[in-house]
Structure 1
Amino acid sequence: MNVSSLALPDSISPSILASADLLVTKTAYLAGMIAPETAACVSKLLMDSDAHYSRIIDGHLTEPEVLKNAQNSANQQSTLQKIPELRRRIVAALVHHFHLLQTQASPEANGAVARVVIHQHLAHLGLHPHLWSLARGLALRHEEYYAFAPIDRTQVSEPTGGVQPSGKSTLSFIEFMLEVCLGEVDYVTTALNRHGLREAVMHGFRTDSQLIEAGISSQTGPAILALLIQGALPRTEFETFTGLQPSEACDQLSKLVNVGLVVSSTPNSHTLRVRLPTWFAQNIFPDFSLAESEIKPG
């Protein structure tokens, strides 16, 4: 069903609209505080985690072809712009998500398909969903999430008709989803603010076994912190941030490249870029979970 053909609830409470407005403000702030190169690293980390969190939510993996078809469908259904206010477009996207949970013809893929579609809608609305993980938030509250779906999801209405959810249950679902979204945006924002990031990076450089085994000095921590904040730095500036003598700074940089924390296109590249491998990212996002095989550096 096209999102524009789903009627908005008759009465949307001021608190729901305020939460939708807050989501716009908070996602814009998050996007503005992260350098593009660092944002790309965070986005990849979150993308790699989706399968793990989806498995927690659904209890199984969904076939990639099903998700691909859902993404194509979402791209074709981007008609939210017809709704006059951004906050009401957000509400409409969540109503569409609820409808998909209730009516998808393939019950075993309901949640995964609906989440692909809502991710696309949130992206079209400029809410930067690649920088925060809706899947993580729903995995932490998956029992509440599926309490909104039919108890027997093999008995669903057709996408083009049938019984629609009550206005009360729809509003409750919207409130729940906005709460989850805001919580996940706050989680990433808190982890990446300057104070939190500094504490996490320096703690990691003092305690991370892989860094210690590689012979990487904790004195290089400030340089990695600067690289995470800036996304990219001239090689000379990076080495200056270490506070080490040139030869030692060069040696430490080589080790950082080898463990995958820094990207240098060539040995003598003048510009360095940040990387955020999962094993180190867990210092910054301590409550972030991946399957064990995805955590081990390869």
Structure 2
Amino acid sequence: MIVSNPALPDSVTPSILASADLLVTKSAFLAGVVAPETAASLSRLMMDTDARFSRIIDGYNTEPEALKNALNLANQQSTLEKVPELRRRIVTVLAHHFYLLQSQAFSDAKGAVAREIIHQHLAQLELHPHLWSLARGLARRHEEYRALALTHRTRVSEPIGGAQPSRESTLSFIDFMLEVCLEEVDYMTTVLNRGQVREAVMHVFRTHSLLAEAGIRAEIAPAYLALLIQGPLPRSEFETFTGLQPNEACDQLCRLIHVGLAVKSTSKSHTLEVGIPTWLAQDILPDFFLVKNVVRSPLP
């Protein structure tokens, strides 16, 4: 079912427009400090955790089949090119998300599908949602999210495109969503600060039991940091970077690959890319996973 974008309120407050502008600036800065291959690894991590965060938000597990058509639906619904300013396009996307939560467009998995659609729209606006987790932010503030989503509800018998939420409820929801987005972008910008990442990685290589059991030596941490921060390296350059003798460097690299910290590039032969397994992310992304799981009734 195709649901048209709702009309925006006649006036959007200057504070909301300023927050939308800030989201553009901050998300662009975040993208600039992360190597593309590191960004891809972080994106896979975000995707893996979204299901857990959705369960916290919605109170139930969403079946994968319910999300299959979300991308097509997002493309069908997208009329963003008709909105002249980027900041107003962001506001339109958030208003549309609110409308989807209000309407009867989806009989199952309404919240998860609506969040998949907003993720695709934020990506279309080049806000780099693969580098920060809106789902995490909403899981952390799930009570506010649900309360705002329930402030206005289209009646079951009412046709889609009927009564619209009030100006006040729409603007309150948009303001809340922008606040959550900015919190998550700020969080990832902070934890991916090079100094903080370097300290966290060095600590992991010195103390993590998994690395000790795998026979991985602490002195190769700088070589791993080079992969993480700078991006792919030729295998020979990585081995030289370790400072070890050739046989030792080769052995250590094999061990890194075994535990998932280094990955052979699929596009370039003899080239290594970074791996960020969940167990490492728990150390270099402090508090990322610390969202309490709760049981509640699903959104009506």
Amino acid corresponding to residue 20 of structure 1 in structure 2:
A
Contact 2:123 2:129 in 1 (8 A): yes
In structure 1, what is the equivalent of residue 249 of structure 2?
A: 249
Post-superposition CA distance 1:107-163 (Å, at most 9, x none): 652211210111111111111111111000000000000001227979556462333
**Contact 1:94 1:177 (8 Å CA) reproduced:** yes
> Unpaired segments of 5 or more residues in structure 2?
292-300
Instruction: Tell me how far 1:23 sits from its aligned partner.
Output: 0.6
Q: Does 1:227 align with 2:227?
A: yes
Equivalent-residue separation in structure 2 for 1:157 and 1:122 (angstroms): 31
Give the C-alpha shift of residue 17 in structure 1. Answer: 0.6
| AA aligned opposite 1:85 | E
Q: CA deviation at 1:168?
A: 0.9
Deviates most, 236-245 or 47-56? 236-245
Work out the CA distance in 2 between the residues paired with 1:157 and 1:193. Answer: 51
Give me the whole-angstrom Cα distance separating, in 1, the residues matched to 2:92 and 2:246: 57
Q: Deviations over 1:84-105 (max 9, x none)?
A: 1000000000000000111134
For residue 211 of structure 1, what is the aligned residue in structure 2? 211
Structure 1 equivalent of residue 296 of structure 2: none
| Residue 152 to residue 80, structure 1, CA distance change in 2 (3 Å) | closer
C-alpha distance in structure 1 between counterparts of 2:81 and 2:37, whole Å? 30
Superposition map of 1:253-264 within 5 A = 253-264=253-264
Call closer, same or farther: CA 1:29–1:253 in 2, change over 3 Å.
same
Structure 2 match to 1:295: none
**C-alpha distance in structure 2 between counterparts of 1:17 and 1:157, whole Å:** 35
Deviation at 1:235, TM superposition (A): 1.9
Asked if the contact 2:197–2:284 (Cα under 8 Å) also holds between the matched residues in 1, the reply is yes
Return the offset for 1:35: 1.2
Q: The residue matched to 2:48 in structure 1 has which SS?
A: helix
How does the TM-score come out when normalised to structure 2? 0.89
Aligned twin of 2:87: 87
Question: What is the identity percentage for the equivalent residue pairs of Structure 1 and Structure 2?
Answer: 71
More helix by share: 1
Taking a change above 3 Å as real, the CA distance of residues 47 and 117 of structure 1, as seen in their structure-2 partners, is same
Unaligned runs of 5+ in 1: 292-298
Q: Distance in 2 between matches of 1:281 and 1:231?
A: 17
What's the CA shift string for 1:21-40, capped at 9, x where partnerless?
01111111111221111111
1:270 Cα deviation from its structure 2 partner: 3.0
Q: Pick one of 1, 4, 9 that aligns with 1:2.
A: 4
Q: Which moved more, 1:174-183 or 1:58-67?
A: 58-67
Bigger relative contact order (CA 8 A; separation at least 6): 2
Give the whole-Å Cα distance in 2 for the aligned partners of 1:283 and 1:130. Answer: 19
2:295 aligned partner: none
**Cα separation, 2, equivalents of 1:129 and 1:84:** 21
Q: Distance in 2 between matches of 1:78 and 1:107?
A: 21
The root-mean-square deviation of aligned C-alpha atoms, in Å, is 2.1
Q: How far apart, CA to CA, are the structure 1 residues paired with 2:107 and 2:114?
A: 11
Task: Give 1:191-206 correspondences, 5 Å limit.
Answer: 191-206=191-206
Runs of 4+ aligned residues of structure 1 deviating over 6 Å after TM superposition are 151-154
Please give the residue correspondences for 1:257-296 in structure 2 after superposition, counting only pairs within 5 Å.
Answer: 257-264=257-264, 270-289=270-289
Distance (whole Å) between structure 2 residues aligned to residue 17 and residue 213 of structure 1: 52
